[in-house]
Structure 1
């Protein structure tokens, strides 16, 4: 499924929402700030341990 999302022609934001709703097992209408924050909090340790294992791949060097 990840490959289909990548070649779908969706924007980065749309691909993110596809992955998030799939991971959370909900529809986009069911997403709320709590679910999104929870997902980010769970992804953060993965990113800190190994950037390649995190779902989000960003360069946060400018955010320090």
Structure 2
């Protein structure tokens, strides 16, 4: 992946993370199960870590 591709994916993941985090917070306030959203947040965090490692290797 190029630096621009990595940065673009990171930006998309960060936007998804913010949206999902908001959904989880809303669901929590209504006592709705949030396990699927929380799992997705962890997956996004892991992917962002990997992309950061790739970005560090490029620069």
TM-score where L is the length of structure 1: 0.34
Which structure is larger by alpha-carbon Rg, 1 or 2?
2
Larger relative contact order (C-alpha < 8 A, sep ≥ 6)? 2
Which structure carries more helix by proportion? 2
TM-score where L is the length of structure 2: 0.37
